Amino acid sequence: MKDILYHATIRYYRSWLSFDGVWSKYIKSKSGKLDSHAFRAITNEYKVARCVKKKSEPNGLVDALNGKIVDWPSSPENILERQKFCTKFTDENRKFFSQRKGNGIWAGSLVTKLVWFLRPDGWTVFDSYASKGIGLKSSLKTRCKMREFYEKLDQAGFHELQSKMQSRIGEATKFDFPAARIIDLALMLKGGFVVAEAANNGFDIIESLPEQNEAFLTVLHYSTSKNLIDLAKLLQNEFGSKEIFIS
């Protein structure tokens, strides 16, 4: 896709307004704690509810994560330590996750997503499309793929990149949404991201994304639309040539 960072910026702002921003602020209003309402909303929206045992209440997993999040590495530079936190938490809490042929599903992706809503600063989620977008093989086992995904992000200078992009977001237009998740969406688009239901109907979200973005921009107030376009162009021009965004 041409100008992938431009389109990812506009599309993620839409996601921020409709879901991520809403639930981030909700959790912040709950003293930075996850509750069952947020848990169900996030796992359903991110299509990871299947990872949790259907017959169990989420409270056990919610309480475990709320209790353990105090050990979260505070520095955004420590992306590999943060990955290790998510891996360890997943390993230690397998009893909450679904069973498949006698083996628990390794739910590291779910944990990275829940953690993002609890501690979003400089963090990004693990996703199979994003891992493909950064060059990892689909055949890798999830646990290994997740580790290598964050290693590749670290090697690509993820912390510095998202930090600089975040500064531009604040300086240019006073928008308040996370650069790290723009990077995440750009990688997902590189990895061939489609909405499953849409794909089943022969509708490719990548092919139609420019038109979707144009339609979204018409819904916004004129000044907001203009500022968002200017921001998307700025990020594309300054960072779009980074190797991480090149197909």
Full domain range(s) for residue 174? 4-47+122-245
Does the residue 76 lie in any domain? no
Does the residue 85 lie in any domain? no
Does the residue 148 lie in any domain? yes
Does the residue 223 lie in any domain? yes
Does the residue 8 lie in any domain? yes
Task: Tell me the C-alpha distance between 4 and 161, whole Å.
Answer: 16
Does the residue 86 lie in any domain? no
| DSSP-assigned letters across all residues of 80-146 | HHHHHHHHHHHHHTGGGB-EETTEE---HHHHHHHHHHHS-TT-----HHHHHHTT--TTS-HHHHH
Give tens-digit pLDDT for 101-126: 444 568 999 999 999 999 999 999 99
Give tens-digit pLDDT for 6-28: 999 999 999 999 999 999 999 99
Give tens-digit pLDDT for 185-243: 999 999 887 554 444 444 456 678 899 999 999 999 999 999 999 999 999 999 999 99
Does the residue 62 lie in any domain? no
Does the residue 88 lie in any domain? no
For the chain, the domain total comes to 1
pTM here is 0.91
